[in-house]
């Protein structure tokens, strides 16, 4: 699992220095206009854990994930 950032250029997401195989499925979290998106180490660890849970189909809703990240609950 990797967490990285990219930039939209001509409608495509470019991630400098990262190689992904053709057809790789990626998840994109995009901030709204004027909003920034940064994660501290704890929030990043929680996000990665949530992604791992989703990979084994232990899913929660997007709202539930947001709530967990901001409330500190697991």
pLDDT in tens, 2-11: 777 788 889 8
pLDDT in tens, 18-54: 888 888 888 887 778 888 777 888 888 888 887 777 7
Mean pLDDT of 47-69: 77
**Domain edges within the chain:** 7-71
In our burial notation (b when 16+ CB lie closer than 10 A, e otherwise), range 12-32 reads: eeeeeeeeeeeeeeeeeeeee
Packing angle between helix 41-55 and helix 62-71, nearest 10 degrees? 150
Tokens representing 29 are: 């979290």
Place of tokens 């001509």: 10
Q: Is the pTM of this model over 0.75?
A: no
pLDDT recorded at residue 58: 60
* Pairwise CA distance, residues 73 & 1, whole Å: 22
């Amino acid at each position: 699992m990797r967490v990285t950032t990219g930039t939209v250029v001509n409608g495509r997401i470019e991630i400098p220095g990262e190689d992904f195989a053709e057809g790789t499925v990626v998840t994109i979290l995009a901030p709204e206009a004027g909003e920034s998106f940064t994660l501290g180490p704890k929030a990043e660890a929680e996000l990665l854990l949530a992604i791992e849970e989703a990979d084994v189909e232990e899913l929660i809703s997007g709202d539930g994930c947001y709530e967990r990240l901001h409330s500190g609950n697991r």
